[in-house]
Copies of this chain bind each other. A is one copy, B any other.
Amino acid sequence: MATLGDIGVSALINILTAFAFLLAFALLRIQPVNDRVYFPKWYINGGRSSPRSGGNFVAKFVNLNFKTYLTFLNWMPQALKMRESELIEHAGLDSAVFLRIYSLGLKIFVPITIVALLILIPVNVSSGTLFFLRKELVVSDIDKLSISNVAPESERRVQHIFNKYLFADYLAFLMSYGLFRFFVHIGLQYLFTVYICYMLYKEYDNIAMMRLQFLASQSRRAEQFTVVVRNVPQIPGHSRADSLDQFFKTNHPDTYLCHQPVYDANKFAKLVRKRDRLQNWLDYNQLKFERHPEKRPTKKTGFLGLWGESVDSIDFYKQQIKEFDKNMALERQKVVKDTKSILPVAFVSFKSRWGAAVCAQTQQSKNPTLWLTNWAPEPRDVYWRNLAIPFVSLTIRKLIISLSVFALVFFYMIPIAFVQSLANLEGLERVAPFLRPVIELKFIKSFLQGFLPGLALKIFLYILPTILMIMSKIEGHIALSTLERRTSAKYYYFMLVNVFLGSIVTGTAFEQLHSFLHQSPTQIPRTIGVSIPMKATFFITYIMVDGWAGIAGEILRLKPFVIFHLKNMFLVKTDRDREKAMDPGSVDYPETLPSLQLYFLLGIVYAVVTPILLPFILVFFAFAYLVYRHQIINVYNQQYESGAAFWPHVHSRIIASLVISQLLLLGLLSTKKAANSTPLLVALPILTLYFHKYCKNRFEPAFRKYPLEEAMAKDITDRTTEPEINLTAFLTDAYLHPIFQSFEEEELVEVRVDKHQSDADNAGTSNDLSSPSPPQGVHHHSFSPQYIYNFSSPAHYGYHYEAEP
């Protein structure tokens, strides 16, 4: 067990690391050359088009204003400056609510830390059991500050003291007596639970209000009028489009407007992705040729470009792209014309928000598996590929994935251990005997022996979020926001079992599962509860490594930094290319939300048991709040806006943490021979779960449904302010498969941009190779040119539509 000194050393190292990261960040961010890495949001927003810099050439890349080096920490107050309402406008509600989770952490843990430290540390220290009775045991200083130090109830001692001393002494003894202290712990657990529930309630209320206000303040958006219908049956003799029109004209006669069929364009999307890759190669080769005009780049046509005939690269890729374009045009026509490629899914639009709200919330058909309606996600939030999944397979997919997640959580060590058993030195020597002399070197050998076994695990943990995301995609959700929420849930289960429980109880998760299955249900919290105080030092270290240093790494953005500069060097030709290269992406909810929830869990569990852990959590929350506020203001550009749809999950997981902490305290106290006091704690989980149920009823509908009152109010406002609006034009192509738009719009965007700049450049742009000539047979497709889209790849829909007719 670590002593206070060890913790101090560890803290120092981590603080130094974090500080080094911060310093690096502070220096790098003020260099103009890095401006697009650390402030991309402003470029995307249109707030900035080129780095702020001085006049001369050097100042374009390096900051020469030495005054700014002195104020290198001024990003912190800057990050706090923006008010929440501005933040919502700037970055969306998702980001603002994401930040509120950190501030909620602060609001919850600041008072708890103060109370816990003031009350519990003296109580735990003054109770001398560990000091006097167990000196032979190796007891860390941390343990002295935790509940481990409180003496178990001892009838004998009471008797003894009562006989020997006077009543006053007895009272004094009572003060130092274990049982009394456990009541302090139990009382504090009650106090903290009530306080946390109160804060959660206020926060939920607040966020529900924010969500409704946000939805109400939004301008006209396609998803407010649109419902996604799944399992559209095909009436024999009618086309699917006819069946749809007929059904909705019958059942929503006053509100039905139009519908957009969904095409199975996954094959086409694959072609688009391949073509993008070819285009990249072409760009790269052309740039190479421009820089070294003396030598045309060549390429071998064989496998991986390693052998075969050598050809001119530029000609080769141009030829390839030309062929691809021909194929794609054919494929596109096939998709549009073939009735079989129309999926049993459609986006149905209504004349009013009220009509859409009614359709989304009601059951349409007698057969409850047909005509399933739900709110359409935002156009840019749609995960098109999953719309092609047949609805019947969804339940099976869900079953399989939930079994897989269970297996992954509990048995992930098995394949890794297997790989580890292969990836040892003997194995390496057998596969590559020529490496033997190198391996046998003592330094390298010890390095490999230390490194190889953990390698498989490290690779696994690195790709885990990707694996979980793939699993969620297999589950068949049709919105990116849902996919991220589901991934985040899976990651949370993994962390809960393997980081939290796995660190507390020894053995693999599988062994734990096995032993838990063979223990009584009351024994489990006891087994875990007892180990809780002993693992405090481990978790303090964890918070410092994963929390502090991790967050400092987040602000430094080392990976995007390197990638941007590499791309900038080799690929970027036009401004559009540069924009693509600097694309900061969204906040990584699937990873940040679960780890955030883990910190809540740690804080809540240790609040009563080992309160010395709380300041470390506090530092994490405060620091992460600052960093993410900065990142959200300056870096991230959310891909979609779900209106804080993740909040109910965050809320319920904090509630789960509360219940876990209560059960563990129950288990811990029952082993402390203070078992008589535990009935006092039994009521807590029941009340907490009841509170959760209440919140669910009270607030969750605001996140799942759209009230008719609201819809009607917005409809009426619209009707009075813009009575002449042409909704059909507005909605016709809102949910067109992005694939069908990519080329036309790319061209359109360019044309527009050029027009804004100068009309003379126009001819040059249309000859620009980065803007491919549109394939034949596409222009016939219905397309309303007043809406400007900018689809470049399926992973990067920059979807903007403007409301003016």
Contacts and interface: CB of A to CB of B under 8 A. Distances in A.
Interface stretch (A13-21, A626-634, A700-708): A700-708
A368 B701 contact: yes
Given A369-B698, A693-B395, A694-B395, A363 B706 contact: yes
A521 interface: yes
Interface stretch (A137-145, A272-280, A512-520, A746-754): A512-520
Contacts of A510: none
Interface stretch (A59-67, A354-362, A609-617): A354-362
Given A358-B362, A712-B250, A368 B517 contact: no
A559 interface: no
B519 A708 contact: no
Nearest to A395: B694
B361 A362 contact: yes
A698 B362 contact: no
Contacts of A697: 368-369, 395
A458 to B, nearest CB: 33
A520 B519 contact: yes
A405 interface: no
A6 to B, nearest CB: 37
Contacts of A712: 250-251
Contacts of A706: 363
A760 to B, nearest CB: 54
Contact of A365 (B250, B368, B707): B707
Contacts of A254: 254
Interface in A238-257: 247, 250-252, 254
Identify whether the interface residues of A are mostly helix, strand, loop, or mixed. helix
A155 interface: no
Interface string A672-701: 000000000000001000100110011111
B251 A709 contact: yes
Contacts of A700: 368
A361 B373 CA distance: 13
A160 interface: no
Contact of A357 (B362, B517, B519): B362
A520 to B, nearest CB: 5
Copies in the complex: 2
A301 interface: no
Nearest to A713: B250
Contact of A520 (B366, B369, B520): B520
A364 interface: yes
Nearest to A522: B517
A171 interface: no
Contact of A366 (B247, B399, B707): B707
Contacts of A518: 520, 522-523
A270 B702 CA distance: 41
Contact of A701 (B251, B363, B403, B702): B363
A2 interface: no
B517 A362 contact: no
Contacts of A357: 362
A389 interface: no
A404 to B, nearest CB: 13
A293 B250 CA distance: 72
A697 B251 CA distance: 22
B362 A709 contact: no
A695 to B, nearest CB: 11
A778 interface: no
Contacts of A517: 520-522
A718 interface: no
A547 B230 CA distance: 48
A368 B251 contact: no
A153 interface: no
Nearest to A399: B690
Given A399-B690, A705-B363, A712-B250, A368 B520 contact: no
Interface in A197-238: 212
State which size class the interface on A falls in. 35 or more
A708 B363 contact: yes
A710 interface: yes
Contacts of A399: 690
Nearest to A252: B708
A55 to B, nearest CB: 55
Contacts of A212: 366
Contacts of A365: 707, 709
Contacts of A693: 395
A699 B366 CA distance: 10
A277 to B, nearest CB: 41
Contact of A368 (B247, B361, B698): B698
A422 to B, nearest CB: 28
Contact of A362 (B364, B366, B699, B708): B708
A373 to B, nearest CB: 10
A252 B517 CA distance: 55
Contacts of A523: 518, 520
A725 B369 CA distance: 35
Contact of A363 (B247, B395, B699, B707): B707
A371 B519 CA distance: 48
A697 B394 CA distance: 12
A62 B344 CA distance: 70
Nearest to A215: B366
A763 B672 CA distance: 86
A303 to B, nearest CB: 45
Interface string A392-429: 00010001000100000000000000000000000000
B368 A699 contact: yes
A232 to B, nearest CB: 13
Given A399-B690, A697-B395, A712-B251, A705 B362 contact: yes
A403 to B, nearest CB: 8
Contacts of A247: 709
Contacts of A701: 363, 368
A409 B164 CA distance: 49
Nearest to A700: B368
A369 B208 CA distance: 13
Nearest to A515: B520
A362 B361 CA distance: 6
Contact of A710 (B361, B366, B699): B366
16 contacts: A251-B709, A362-B708, A363-B707, A364-B708, A366-B707, A366-B709, A366-B710, A368-B700, A368-B701, A369-B697, A371-B709, A395-B693, A395-B694, A517-B520, A519-B520, A520-B520
7 cross-chain pairs, A with B, having the tightest CB-CB distances, nearest first: A368-B701, A363-B705, A361-B362, A518-B520, A363-B707, A251-B712, A358-B358
Interface of A: 212, 247, 250-252, 254, 354, 357-358, 361-366, 368-369, 371, 395, 399, 403, 517-523, 686, 690, 693-694, 697-702, 705-710, 712
Given A364-B708, A366-B710, 20 more contacts: A212-B366, A250-B709, A251-B709, A358-B362, A361-B363, A362-B362, A363-B707, A363-B708, A364-B707, A364-B709, A366-B707, A366-B709, A368-B697, A368-B698, A368-B707, A395-B694, A517-B520, A517-B521, A517-B522, A520-B523
